[in-house]
Chains A and B, each alone.
Chain A
């Protein structure tokens, strides 16, 4: 089954207000200056409650959506949403750039030759400086096509390892009291564990850990994520407190670039250290993750592989070297045995059975993640209708 042609459809989408504001900078403001030395500044960089920065359009403005279709010589095509934005011109030229640089690398290739396409687009990242998104998107399109072809969800095509995985969720709060209340809510929702994102330094975070363990009891899984806000020495000190409170792991104690520091923390602590979310986001996995594993600079590999194929490479690399991974696509997680916990972004109740098809649908309830699916085929797009309704066809 060969890929014969690539087409982009540029669609008009719902108008939206465009906005950026100070609070969108992420969570750096939560890191108090001077605590770890990483974020201190003589001028007092830090959160100011009275700081108001808010850029926004007065009214909703038009938005656009780009859809990629890879035609095949069979009755099934690969397709996906490629991107969206406020500028039709920019999306049009994005499509033209992809058609001029990347899709010629896949047209003429068998849709099941995913490894060839993954390897080609991996190196295309270097030659065209594409970033990870094109490979991520095209690999997923091909797995989605394989799923519709076999009428099985992707995790079973990968070789199902299990049907469900225990789930935990994240919690936060302005005070330790808020954090404890947030974690208790997770337990009430059925989650088997919770992970903070707390940047209070060693002493306060140790206090938090003790209060959480006291409130949640012995069986609840507690995980600590300081988001790279410790020094190496602090990480070892907090690690001992967390071990005393029977924590499951410490996540990103140091910045991922500090490979020798991570090695020191891993060697010192019994508590598993989870790393590589940030450096993995750049796209070097599995290749830059493997040396961390070999040097024992992480105990759990944050899953950041590119596409389903890349995530399987990361999981199998870690398994081949005796380590677990954490995170990534639910289908990949269900297809491997070395990822014990699922990080849920809230509850996802199951849909009605008549809404299910062979692609499957993520469900998070009763403390587990699973994929609900049926063997019903996916309703394929009417490409004539898609073409008629598109604002522009680019090919």
Chain B
């Protein structure tokens, strides 16, 4: 069995691997730049290759992609499509191809960042009432963030998790000052407070704050840099985003490294694609806490149907592969 064709479509964001069997592998979130990289660099490496040699392909794509100066997302989407294909070949959902840990994952609501305090409070209360395990609040560098998070805590009540995301927008002084308030309101974590590459600042922040500091999705050379951030305790939890950090293979290796160090690797996904790859990884590892669920407004233009989140829990697809369902069947023909 071998790969016979590699088709990427930046308009739909879809990648399709065809084989000499009826089985195909699909991935989402392919940008125009990624599509160009696939056509120029990866396509010749994939044609005629056996999908059973996934690790050899990953090593080769990563090496050649790295030499061409391409980011991890470019080989990441190809890797995701290979896992989809391997799941279909075995008649198993991807999380069970890796080795299943669970088929339901607790979810938090990844809310809309561009809203005012009232809307944020409403969003958090809605998340709480719908059974979500928490709600993300995105902090900008402007305005009185300390007052905002205190008021949000007031609005949703005590036990509900507020997950704070700095969106890499703060400097160390501002992050430290806000972090003290996040400690005070018992926020669940502080994600991307600083630029990911500021590992010195992150280390100082992690040491100073009681709540976990989480970062790392944008570290280039992501696996080695990511584990280094863990061993030096520059972060308390590692953030890995598919496909920004890489494919399923990249993030699985990061998660295994973190597990061996007794730490969590929290897996999420870039909303330009579908959440399926992240969801299956969450089904295969112990050391990740939550699925990041986008709000209902975000699905309008989706080419893939969203995954069911019921009473705050993601239910993993049980069908072979990633379980992608296309909203427009003509995309698949």
Task: Please give the residue numbers on chain A whose beta carbons come within 8 Å of chain B beta carbons, in ascending order.
Answer: 110, 112-116, 118-119, 146, 149-150, 152, 156-162, 286-287, 289-291, 294, 309, 312-314, 316-317, 319-322, 335-337
- Residues 52-72 of chain B, each 1 if its beta carbon lies under 8 Å from chain A, else 0: 111110110000000000000
Interface residues of B in 263-311 (CB under 8 A from A): 284-286
Bound complex: CA of A80 vs CA of B249, how far in Å? 30
C-alpha gap A380/B209 in the complex (Å): 58
Whole-angstrom CA separation of A296 from B136 in the bound complex = 38
Contacts of B56 in A (CB 8 A): 159-162, 337
Nearest A residue (CB) for B230: A294
Whether B260 lies near A290 (C-beta < 8 A) is yes
A337-B223 Cα distance, complex, nearest whole Å: 15
- Evaluate contact between A150 and B96: CB separation under 8 angstroms: no
B253 lies within 8 A of A150 (CB): no
- Complex CA gap A150/B257 in Å reads 28
Pair B261/A290 contact, Cβ less than 8 Å:
yes
* B2, CB-defined interface residue at 8 Å: no
**Separation of A152 and B285 alpha carbons in the complex (Å):** 24
* Contact flag A159-B101 (CB < 8 Å), given A317-B260, A321-B231, A321-B257: no
- Which residue of A118, A159, A291, A294 contacts B53 across the interface (Cβ within 8 Å)? A159
* Residues on A with beta carbons closer than 8 Å to the beta carbon of B257: 290, 316-317, 319-321
Contact of A113 with B253 in the complex, beta carbons under 8 Å: no
Bound-complex Cα distance A321 to B253 (A): 10
Query: Is B243 part of the contact surface with A, judged by Cβ < 8 Å?
Result: no
Complex contact B260–A115 (CB within 8 A): no
Q: Are A156 and B231 in contact (CB under 8 A)?
A: no
Q: Are A115 and B223 in contact, CB atoms less than 8 angstroms apart?
A: no
- Decide: A159 and B52 in contact? CB cutoff 8 A: yes
Q: Please, what's the 1-or-0 string for B228-268, where 1 marks a CB less than 8 Å from any CB in chain A?
A: 10010000000000000000010011101101111000000
In the assembled complex, B92 has its CB within 8 A of some CB on chain A: yes
Q: Would A320 and B286 be within 8 Å (CB), given that A116-B100, A159-B55, A337-B59 are in contact?
A: no
Residue of A146, A160, A316, A317 touching B54 (CB-CB under 8 A): A160
Question: In chain B between 79 and 103, which residues have their CB closer than 8 angstroms to a CB of chain A?
Answer: 86, 89-90, 92, 96-103
Given the complex, which residues of B lie within 8 Å of A286, measured CB to CB? 256, 259-260
A-B contact pairs, 21 of them (CB 8 A): A113-B102, A115-B98, A115-B99, A116-B100, A119-B101, A157-B97, A159-B52, A159-B54, A160-B56, A161-B59, A286-B256, A287-B262, A290-B260, A290-B261, A312-B256, A313-B260, A320-B223, A320-B224, A321-B228, A321-B231, A335-B55
Contact check: which of B52, B92, B231, B285 meets A115 at CB < 8 Å?
B285
Residues of B within 8 A of A (CB): 50, 52-56, 58-59, 86, 89-90, 92, 96-103, 223-224, 226-228, 231, 249, 252-254, 256-257, 259-262, 284-286
Contact at A113–B96, with CB atoms within 8 Å? yes
Q: How distant is the Cα of A214 from the Cα of B100 in the complex, in angstroms?
A: 53
CB nearest to B56 among chain A residues: A161
Please classify the interface of chain A as helix (H, G, I), strand (E, B), loop, or mixed, using the class held by over half of its residues.
helix
Residues of B within 8 A of A291 (CB): 261
Question: Inside 8 A of B231's CB, which chain A residues have their CB?
Answer: 294, 321
How far is A321 from B97 in the complex, measured between Cα atoms in Å? Answer: 24
Cα–Cα distance between A113 and B103 once the two chains are bound (Å) = 9
Give chain A nearest CB distance to B304 CB in angstroms.
24
Instruction: Pick the residue among B99, B249, B253, B261 that contacts A114 (CB under 8 A).
Output: B99
Residue of A nearest to B259 (CB): A313
In the assembled complex, the Cα of A335 lies from the Cα of B252 at a distance in Å of 14
Q: Specify which chain B residues have a CB less than 8 angstroms from the CB of A158 in the assembled complex.
A: 55
User: Which A residues are CB-close (under 8 A) to B227?
Assistant: 320-321
B53 and A317 contacting across the interface, CB-CB below 8 Å: no
Contact call B99/A319, Cβ cutoff below 8 A? no
B53/A115 in contact, CB under 8 A: no
Residue contact B100 to A110, C-beta cutoff 8 Å = yes
Within the complex, the shortest CB–CB distance from A118 to chain B, in Å, comes to: 7
**Nearest 6 A-B pairs (CB), nearest first?**
A320-B257, A159-B54, A112-B96, A114-B99, A113-B100, A159-B55
